[in-house]
Amino acid sequence: QVQLQESGPGLVKPSETLSLTCTVSGGSISSYYWSWIRQPAGKGLEWIGRIYTSGSTNYNPSLKSRVTMSVDTSKNQFSLKLSSVTAADTAVYYCARDLIAAAGLDAFDIWGQGTMVTVSS
């Protein structure tokens, strides 16, 4: 049973960089896309971007200038960095597996529990 767990600071100062890691357990990180998705309190879901285990990335254009994703297959982990954060980046951040099948299936089938990140001085 594949499980995901987000980790990282729960409080980040404005203008600094938010850094989160997602650890994949119960299975291999290889040969999948892995996404980050965030949700401000009481609001909807926003896809931040994804990374393939080769290191190839796709970012949401709305955040692209501030986002960097990386993967460490030896540790079964992938990471998110979001620079120059403001209060608008305060949200629950989820990591998720982006399951893509040849038949056209493409869905976030496994999610981490989420981690709350607050941007405040």
The contact set with another protein (CB under 8 A) reads 35, 44-47, 49, 58-62, 94, 96, 104-109, 111-114
Q: Considering the complex, what minimum distance in angstroms separates the CB of residue 66 from another protein?
A: 14
Residue closer to another protein by CB (options 10, 61) is 61
Q: How far is the CB of 99 from another protein (least distance, A)?
A: 9
**Smallest gap, in angstroms, from Cβ of residue 27 to another protein?**
16
Closer to another protein by Cβ: residue 61 or 121: 61
Q: Give the residue among 4, 2, 9, 5 at the shortest CA–CA distance from 116.
A: 9
By beta-carbon proximity to another protein, the closer residue of 34 and 108 is 108
